[in-house]
Amino acid sequence: MRAYKNLQEFLEVLEKEGELLRIGVEVSPELEITEITDRVCKLNGPALFFEKVKGHKIPVVTNLFGSFKRICLAFGVKEIEELSRSLIEFMEIKKVESFFDKLKIIPKLWQAKDFFPKIVDKAPCQEIIR
């Protein structure tokens, strides 16, 4: 399974795959974003990147996980069943007694290290870009 460095990296992958639609016109955060997203979701459309949100400096992204393809891209798997199998295998880790059984679960535990958030001093979301 893949871990992205940040949201920007994931958005770049979605854009390369044709799974991200950028909306450059100004939209209302109260009604327009929800209505547009609702219609696109019902049509199994792409993730939406609203670049200009009325009254806000920060863009909004919706429908990131609105298709099996985008879920697979997010987790770095080829098909959704692969993700299901990985999660089931991880949840089935039981208390092990023998030394050799403990060695067998090391790869699964190594994968789990990417599940948890990482605390950093400086994050890309804190950059001021002018």
pLDDT tens-digit readout, 55-87: 999 999 999 999 999 999 998 889 988 878 877
Give the model's pLDDT for residue 129.
Answer: 58
Q: Where are the beta strands (DSSP E) in the chain?
A: 20-23, 47-50, 60-62
Give the model's pLDDT for residue 37.
Answer: 97
Residue 57 lies in a domain: yes
Residue 33 lies in a domain: yes
Residue 102 lies in a domain: yes
Residue 2 lies in a domain: no
Residue 13 lies in a domain: yes
Residue 108 lies in a domain: yes
Give the model's pLDDT for residue 119.
Answer: 81
Same domain, 57 and 98: no
- Please, which residues have CB within 8 angstroms of residue 22's CB and are 6 or more apart in sequence? 15, 49, 51
Give the model's pLDDT for residue 55.
Answer: 96
Same domain, 69 and 98: no
Same domain, 36 and 60: yes
Q: Are 61 and 50 in contact (CB under 8 A)?
A: yes
Residue span of the structural domain in which 109 resides: 80-118
Which is more confidently placed, 100 or 49? 49
Residue 124 lies in a domain: no
Domain boundary among 74, 92, 107: 74
Average pLDDT, the chain: 86
Give the model's pLDDT for residue 1.
Answer: 64
Domain boundary among 39, 56, 74: 74
Residue 30 lies in a domain: yes
Same domain, 31 and 54: yes
Q: What pLDDT band is residue 18 in, cutting at 50, 70 and 90?
A: very high
| Structural domains in the chain (count) | 2
Residue 20's CB: how many other CB atoms inside 10 A?
20
Give the model's pLDDT for residue 87.
Answer: 76
Same domain, 68 and 90: no
